[in-house]
Amino acid sequence: MPEELISHNDSNNDLELRVKELKQDIESRDIDQQQKSSLLDLLEQLQAFDLGRFLLTNQGLNGFWTSYVVRYPELDKGSVTDLERWILEQSPGIVATQQRYKNFHKILNSRLANGTHLASIPCGLMDDLLRLDYSNISDIKLTGVDLDEDSLKAAASLASDLGLDQHCEFMHANAWNLEYQDQFDILVSNGLNLYARSQEELIELYANFYKAIKPGGILLSSFLTPPPLIDPDSPWLLANIKIADMVQQKLLFSDLIRAKWQFYRFEEETINDLKSVGFKDIEIVYDQNKIFPSFTAVK
């Protein structure tokens, strides 16, 4: 069971030291000069914007940057560098993440009812719950759980800004060590399973979610399918994806940053994982290119 933040660091790393280490690593690799030049160029470009610097030093996203990434299509764009625009508008995995966010909202809005208790674990800024349509709802309870104190403070602030603070509670806790039992009608979890370091760790996470959900309640989550450049059996719909974007995504997130969110699963594996802890009636909702599917599973 992870005892520390696994998606990002809880303190500011030394960017200059990280860049130096990455340069040395790139130069030492047994790859051709063109690939080395591409990696060094991406390394230079990432240092020019806040999201890039955070990715370099953390190899993952915290609540703030997850919110920025998924909500980017609806934000005022302002001034962004070419690489940041590419990440947010063309990187296949990031575009799928934005579609996942919309799919979550469609599923959740269709299930909202008075008296429902929803949880977000880990909650980050809790956009998945706080930005739902509560116009016809007066009795709702929202619980946010996270191991990151900064995310909890930001989520509480957003709840206040949106006038939902009276419906919310926030808990500092580890998703692998939840004290809840038969508590939630809907438990929402985005992203944490992508950082699992083994199938055993993933199953343990799902088992904790299962325990926390009421009988008849649902888990709403998602999973990343393996890219074609990693697994030839990938379900990605390549007719819709530019090869250049796919190659650059691998260079940036896998070869350079070595992002921590690379625990990939096929649909069948995910269904089997969920069934192994007791979930049933599992339904998959795909994004446009079958990169980041969402699913509901019933306890």
Q: Is 143:117 a contact under the CB 8 Å cutoff?
A: yes
SS3 193: helix
Does the pLDDT at position 111 exceed 90? Answer: yes
Same domain (yes/no): 178, 281: yes
Predicted confidence band of residue 250 (pLDDT cuts 50, 70, 90): very high
Q: Is 260:196 a contact under the CB 8 Å cutoff?
A: no
Same domain (yes/no): 238, 114: no
Q: Which amino acid is at 164?
A: L
Average pLDDT taken over every residue of the chain: 93
Which tokens go with 74? 């609806």
What's residue 239's pLDDT? 94
3 assigned to some structural domain: no
Does the pLDDT at position 2 exceed 70? Answer: no
What's residue 77's pLDDT? 80
Residue with the two structure tokens 């990031």: 94
Q: The whole model's pTM is what?
A: 0.92
Task: Give the integer Cα–Cα distance in Å for 135 and 119.
Answer: 19
10 assigned to some structural domain: no
Structural domain for 288, as ranges = 96-225+263-298
CATH number at residue 277: 3.40.50.150
Give start and end residues of each alpha helix (H) in the chain: 15-28, 33-46, 50-58, 63-71, 82-89, 92-111, 127-130, 149-161, 199-212, 243-249, 267-276
78 assigned to some structural domain: yes
Predicted confidence band of residue 11 (pLDDT cuts 50, 70, 90): very low
Q: Is 60:51 a contact under the CB 8 Å cutoff?
A: no
Does the pLDDT at position 84 exceed 70? Answer: yes
Predicted confidence band of residue 172 (pLDDT cuts 50, 70, 90): very high
What's residue 280's pLDDT? 98
7 assigned to some structural domain: no
Q: Is the dihedral of CA 274, 186, 93, 61 positive or negative?
A: negative
Does the pLDDT at position 8 exceed 50? Answer: no
Q: Is 159:183 a contact under the CB 8 Å cutoff?
A: no
4 assigned to some structural domain: no
Q: Which amino acid is at 163?
A: G
